[in-house]
Chains A and B, each alone.
Chain A
Amino acid sequence: MILDLERFQAQARPRWSKLELLLAALESRPDRRLNLVEAEQLQEIYAQTAADLNRVTHGALAPDLRQYLERLVARAYAELYCAPPTRSEIWRPRRWLRIFTAFPETFRRQSRYFALAVMITVLGCALGGLGVRYDPGSVDVLLPADYLRNPGQRVHEEEKGQSRDLPSAQLEAAFSAQLIQHNIQVALLAAALGVTYGIGTALLLFENGVLLGAVAVHYTQQGFGLFVTAWLLPHGVFEIPSILIAGQAGFYLARLLLRRREDRNVRQSMREWLVLIAGLAMMLVWAGMMEAFFSQHHAPVLPYGFKIAVGGAELALLTVYLLLIGRRDTGAEVRTSVPSENK
């Protein structure tokens, strides 16, 4: 049966206009919550408009009208079925401070992916270190140009401050910003490469491990083990774990992809990924500042023993933070927030 469009429109137009007005009011003020009467009214007009859409879809070929009604129904559906947090809720400080406890909790919940990242990096380290140890010629292949210079000469330059044209707080500030930017980009890439089912993440971690192992062995062989430890430790204790956590996020993403069909709580799962990214970004900000303002100063300005002690203290604090903060809540969260990950 062909729908009498003109009469149908004349009858239905008042409720469509009413729905439009109601939706415009709601959309212009996202903070506004419907009271019971308004919610019932919206539900009722939504149901009527949906029925109108159904009639137009099956009883007439009126593409413009159908499109208009579809848009109207889609907007009403979005208002009825979704109540995003209000802006005042989003900007509440407690909500943002929660990241400081959510990060270690998430880290522990997904610790198996961290262990995988550590294993791959250690494997890379071993390969890089053994390569340099037993095949000195591989240094040319494994290390970038900057590290290929004679370690003795480089240590001498670093200790004299000759490698820096303008050794000042200003230069350090600019350097720290560049480090933070670069490191966060690399970490983010490692985490995002999880979409390659973790293969890209694994390759990036492995390459990083090879470089780390090769540098450590190359400098140690030349008798500069203390120097390189004091040089890398103060910022490395944050930088290297951050890259490992990026790998953890990447493998977590890969696991999500593999079990996407069975995991109904994708939104919560992606929140876990985001928390890991936010946490590692905070760590890399600290690592960048330490590398620029602290690590680049060598003996006699800063004794190596002192630098290593600072690095050790940082590592202890980071370990305590990641393993203990929010520990009492973790058990409850495991049961309530990510059921699919703990089945």
Chain B
Amino acid sequence: MTNSQPIRWATTAEVTIATPEGVLFRLPLAGPASRLYAMLLDIAIVLGTVNGVGLLVYWIFAKAPGFGVMVITLGEFAIGFAYGALLEGFWNGQTIGKRLFHLRVIDQAGLPLRIEQAWVRNLMRVFDALPFAYLVGGISALSNPLMQRFGDRMAGTLVVCQTPLVAPGEGSWTRQKYNSFMDYPTIAMKLRRAATPELASLIQDALRRRTELAAYARREIYRELATYLHSEISPFPDELVEMLSDEQYLINAAGVLFGDQRLSRVRG
């Protein structure tokens, strides 16, 4: 199975992986800002560690400061390279900074990072950091659809966002016991047939984000959607519509679109 070659393509914000079975999934690419913040945090951690260890070493080698300098110089150098390579290689493609900013380094085929790839992308920092402040690496990332710096290109890696996700919950607006639109099965069926997936999703999103919208914005959006549905797609009787608020109109419409299809057939 490991020899199969996945296909991938990218837009500015995400990469799409096509597995050998033809399954497509998208991964959100990490932007330069979040990568910069994670890197700054990692630099702070490395400097803190080096200085902490340095103080300890100076104390241990108080009578032989030359050896202390040797240990600190080599330790600082080794930590600088090994920090990123070892953490990314053994800790799910993440350094401490990347974990806190929900970033992860992965193979560009969508597979986990390998230890060799972690070393290559971290050793290549000597080039990406040129001439100062990661200018070469930054330009490389901004000019590449996969947002790869040179180290990533050589190692065949990507930095993706990995915010924790939970399965979306059921919307309370879909669980109403009585839907007056179901009393008009012909018009309800017409609504179901005429509504495009885009429109259905728009109604669903508008209801799901009810609490996120400001009151006046919510009223306007609901009014426009209800008016559009009533005039263009589902002309339910005026005496019914007059009794409903715009929000209730949309809740009923969503119930028709996303509710149990058998209900309408039984009633029809």
A41 within 8 A of B: no
Take A181-B73, A195-B154, A270-B154 as given contacts and tell me if A57 and B165 are in contact as well, using a CB distance cutoff of 8 Å.
no
Task: Report chain B residues within 8 Å CB of A64.
Answer: 168
B230 within 8 A of A: no
- List residues of A (61-95) whose CB comes within 8 Å of B's CBs: 61-65, 67-68, 70-71, 73-74, 77-78, 80-85, 87, 90
A50 within 8 A of B: yes
**Binary per-residue interface labels of chain A (156-190) against chain B in the complex, 1 for a CB within 8 Å, 0 otherwise:** 00000000001011111110111011001100110
B65 touching A170, Cβ below 8 Å? yes
**Binary per-residue interface labels of chain A (1-36) against chain B in the complex, 1 for a CB within 8 Å, 0 otherwise:** 010111101100100110000000001000000000
A173 touching B66, Cβ below 8 Å? yes
- List residues of B (169-228) whose CB comes within 8 Å of A's CBs: 170, 174, 192, 195, 197-198, 200-201, 204
B124 touching A70, Cβ below 8 Å? no
Take A60-B197, A173-B69 as given contacts and tell me if A270 and B120 are in contact as well, using a CB distance cutoff of 8 Å.
yes
Tell me the bound Cα distance from A19 to B235 in angstroms. 44
Task: Report chain B residues within 8 Å CB of A273.
Answer: 120
Task: Report chain B residues within 8 Å CB of A178.
Answer: 73
The size bracket of the interface on B is: 35 or more
A267 touching B156, Cβ below 8 Å? yes
A174 touching B167, Cβ below 8 Å? no
B110 within 8 A of A: yes
Take A74-B110, A77-B110, A274-B120 as given contacts and tell me if A53 and B70 are in contact as well, using a CB distance cutoff of 8 Å.
no
Take A78-B112, A170-B65, A181-B73 as given contacts and tell me if A270 and B27 are in contact as well, using a CB distance cutoff of 8 Å.
no
B37 within 8 A of A: no
A170 touching B67, Cβ below 8 Å? yes
**Binary per-residue interface labels of chain B (140-155) against chain A in the complex, 1 for a CB within 8 Å, 0 otherwise:** 0000000000100111
B260 within 8 A of A: yes
B33 within 8 A of A: no
B23 touching A73, Cβ below 8 Å? yes
Partner of B201, one of A62, A82, A177, A180: A62
Task: Report chain A residues within 8 Å CB of B71.
Answer: 177
Q: Closest CB of chain B to A62's CB: distance in Å? A: 7
Partner of A62, one of B66, B74, B165, B204: B204
29 A-B pairs whose Cβ atoms sit less than 8 Å apart in the complex: A4-B260, A6-B170, A6-B174, A13-B167, A17-B167, A53-B23, A57-B24, A62-B204, A68-B167, A70-B26, A71-B165, A74-B25, A77-B111, A78-B112, A81-B1, A81-B111, A82-B2, A168-B66, A170-B65, A174-B66, A176-B70, A184-B77, A188-B126, A192-B124, A192-B127, A193-B127, A195-B150, A270-B154, A274-B123
Given contacts A5-B258, A78-B111, 11 further A-B contacts (CB under 8 A): A17-B167, A27-B92, A50-B21, A68-B167, A70-B26, A85-B115, A87-B90, A171-B66, A180-B77, A188-B123, A195-B150
